[in-house]
Amino acid sequence: MSEYSTLYETDPVYQMAVKQLKEAASILGLPDEYVEVLRHPEKLVQVRVTIRRDNGKIATFIGWRSQHNSALGPYKGGIRYSPNATAGETVALSMWMTWKNSLAGIPYGGGKGSVRVDPKALSQREIEELSRRYFASIAREVGPDIDIPAPDVYTNPQTMAWYFDEYSRIVGYPAWGVVTAKPPELGGLYVRTVSTGYGVALVAREAAKRVLGGLEGRTVAVHGFGNVGLYAAKYLAEWGARVVAVSDSKGYIYDPKGLNIEEVSKVKEKTGSVINYKVGDVKASANHMELLELPVDILVPAAIENVITAENAPRVKAKIISEGANGPTTPEADKLLHEKQVVVIPDILANAGGVVMSWIEWSHNRMGCFLTDEEAITRLDKMMSQNFNRVFDEWQKKYSNYPMRIAAYAIAVDRVVKAMKLRGWI
């Protein structure tokens, strides 16, 4: 730790991000002084957000916007509302966005914002007021060429519409490019909803071509049948794989002959859980963790963090893991799986579909034209497949002694460092 302890240096999430940065720096042979530059955000803004509650009382909240690095382009990253938000977590998340955007090959740096609030305790009107006040407080820091926020935990296209409106009022013109994942009526894309799951399926498809000779007939299990898991399952099935198991927090269902994803999705919507899908020989169990150990070719963890651990990794039978969730595999499990020659496509590569689609939305907003869904998906597919194959090749060529995740971090950090050098920053 440096001589002065800042707002964020004692935060454990921040410390984890710095540990990963140091690992990548050591593989790349970067000097400590570069790590010292990269571990701090370029700018961290803290704001006070005051609203009038429905009962007439004043309520005050604290929020942040962390702008980690802009060597590759304007800062980009979501804004979350959470009672546990801290400056440290916000800085760490902004650093991860720098690496994710660098790895995705899009012209963005990394940023992240948060407000420490329990949104469930506020009415819709109070959330609107909070959103408008927060965005007005950071209006001088953001902009279509400066910093482009998007949704994250407990923020959504409606929140983006309020941010867009508030910012446009302040600058005096409709600034479409200031946020992404807007409602389609305001320049957003319908396909934004499917884009993360689509990307998770797409990298699994590309990996299957490289290590299994193709996707056709390969079996798949999806842990977490939410937004990401549902669309990952849907596209993998559409492209010829057999999705044999899916789960949610209530349990999992398994049919070695394959599940009808559309039907499962209808049952989940109607009854609240996939375990109520009772067709043919489908087996259901309340222990969703068992799904991770099923005899399948491809595993998609798309629920929560730390589900694949040193304890269960030896029993994982999949040959490819495409990480839809953030941080589903612990570092110890990652090492064990690498030793077993399982290809683990890391979260920062596999779940970048959302931010790549954001870039597609933003670049077309800036040109004043709106894309069709088909054009947008074709663009996403082309960019992410090229990107996956580039990272896979570089991993095999230069970093094959390490899990793909470590290689991905090294490639991402290297790109940022090269840009900083070219710009004369270091």
Residues noted as catalytic = 112
Q: Is 266 in the site for ligand NAD (CB under 6 A)?
A: no
Kindly state the greatest CA–CA separation across the chain.
65
Candidate list 103, 175, 303, 313; residue touching ligand NAD; CB under 6 A:
303
Residue ranges with strand state E in 279-416 = 283-285, 298-301, 320-322, 343-345
Least distance CB 139 / ligand NAD (angstroms): 25
Binder of ligand NAD out of 27, 97, 178, 228 (CB under 6 A): 228
Site string for ligand NAD, 381-410 (x = CB under 6 A): ------------------------------
Query: Which of residues 227, 309, 312, 385 is near ligand NAD by CB under 6 A?
Result: 227
- Told to check if 132 binds ligand NAD by CB under 6 A, we report no
Q: Work out whether 346 is an interface residue with ligand NAD (CB under 6 A).
A: no
Q: For residues 230-249, which are near ligand NAD according to CB under 6 A? A: 248-249
Residue nearest to ligand NAD (CB): 226
Cα 20-26-31 angle, rounded to 5 deg:
110
Residue 422 contacts by C-beta under 8 Å, 6 or more apart in sequence? none
Contact between 381 and 202 under an 8 Å Cβ cutoff? The reply is yes
Minimum CB distance to ligand NAD, residue 320 (Å): 18
Question: Considering beta carbons, is residue 184 or 226 the nearer one to ligand NAD?
Answer: 226
- Cβ neighbours, 10 Å, residue 36: 10
Q: Which residues pair with 64 in a beta bridge?
A: 46, 114
The encoded tokens of residue 37 equal 């530059």
CA distance 306 to 100: 19
Smallest gap, in angstroms, from Cβ of residue 182 to ligand NAD? Answer: 15
Half-sphere exposure of 111 (CA within 13 A, CB side): 32
179 binds ligand NAD (CB under 6 A): no
According to the binding rule CB under 6 A, does residue 92 interact with ligand NAD?
A: no
The answer to whether residue 354 forms part of the interface with ligand NAD (CB under 6 A) is: yes
Q: Is position 155 an interface residue for ligand NAD (rule: CB under 6 A)?
A: no
Which token pair is 334?
């990652």
288 binds ligand NAD (CB under 6 A): yes
Closest approach of ligand NAD to the CB of residue 327, in Å: 7
Residue 232 or 406: which CB sits closer to ligand NAD?
232
Number of amino acids touching ligand NAD (CB under 6 A): 18
265 binds ligand NAD (CB under 6 A): no
Report whether 149 contacts 78 (CB < 8 A): yes
CA distance 223 to 268: 14
Residue 279 has a CB neighbour count (10 Å cut-off) of 12
**How many C-beta atoms lie closer than 10 Å to residue 213's C-beta?**
9
Compare residues 84 and 249 and give the one whose CB is closer to ligand NAD: 249
Q: Which of 61, 167, 225, 392 touches ligand NAD (CB under 6 A)?
A: 225
N residues, the chain: 426
| Residue 24 or 302 having the CB closest to ligand NAD | 302
- Candidates 175, 232, 325, 336; binder of ligand NAD (CB under 6 A) is 325
Residue 324 binds ligand NAD (CB under 6 A):
yes
Distances (CA, A) of 252 to 72, 177, 263, 326: 42, 41, 15, 20
The DSSP H or E segment spanning 331 is helix 331-339
Question: What would the two tokens of residue 22 be?
Answer: 């140091």
Q: Please tell me whether residue 89 binds ligand NAD under the rule CB under 6 A.
A: no
d(CA 77, CA 66): 9
Task: Determine if 88 is a binding residue for ligand NAD (CB under 6 A).
Answer: no
Query: Which helix (DSSP H) or strand (DSSP E) does residue 3 occupy?
Result: none
For ligand NAD, the closer CB: 137 or 322: 322
Which segments of 187-246 does DSSP mark as H helices, in order? 192-211, 227-238
Binding residues vs ligand NAD (CB under 6 A): 196, 224-229, 248-249, 288, 302-304, 324-326, 351, 354
